Amino acid sequence: MQPGPLQDACAPATRPVSQWERALLAEWFAGTARTGLDAVAAAYVSERSRDDPRLRNTIIIAGRHKAEITYLVHGPLGESDWILTSGETREQLGRFPTLREALGVIRAHRPAFQPSSITSQPEEPLASTTSQR
């Protein structure tokens, strides 16, 4: 298959990221930390005209700083697997059957809303704590 006008001939042909996969990426990103050693500053699909054409249809994961590409995730055209690559060395780190598995290797997903953070209910019903008339 010939590369598109915006895709470099040396870049691997990647399949487009579906709406469902974008929703999964957004859910995963919402569950990551923004500060600290495990921070994820940004997670997005490279598709803007000003983005590097070699990264078209590639998921970009930025570490502590948005300009720091830490990981790349893409699905090769004609295949169902996802390939995880180091953003620094471009070394392939693994091939995964699902996007969720590839993202899980980067950072374990933590739900944005954790039930354990909810305080327990008081033992007395609310009605008994209000003043009597």
Rounded distance between C-alpha atoms, residue 60 and residue 53, angstroms = 13
Report the amino acid identity of residue 99.
L
Q: Identify the pLDDT of residue 2.
A: 41
pLDDT of residue 108: 64
Residue 55 is given by DSSP the state G
Q: Which amino acid is at 107?
A: R
CA 73 to chain centre: 9
Where on the phi/psi map is residue 124: left (φ > 0), alpha (ψ -120 to 50), or beta? beta
Report pLDDT for 53. Answer: 87
Which alpha helices (H) appear in 4-81, and where do they start and end?
A: 19-30
Question: Would you kindly state where each structural domain of the chain is located, as residue ranges?
Answer: 19-112
Identify whether the C-beta of residue 7 lies closer than 8 Å to the C-beta of residue 13.
yes
H helix or E strand, kind and range, residue 128: helix 126-129
pLDDT given at position 123: 46
Query: What does pLDDT average to in each consecutive run of 10 residues of the chain (133 residues)?
Result: 43 87 95 85 90 91 86 95 94 96 81 43 47 51
Looking at residue 80, its pLDDT comes to 94
CA distance 63 to 54: 20
Q: What is the pLDDT of residue 51?
A: 81
Residue 43, beta-bridge partner list:
61
Look at residue 11 in the predicted model and tell me its pLDDT: 58
pLDDT at 121: 46
Residue entry with tokens 């000003």:
50
pTM of the full structure: 0.72
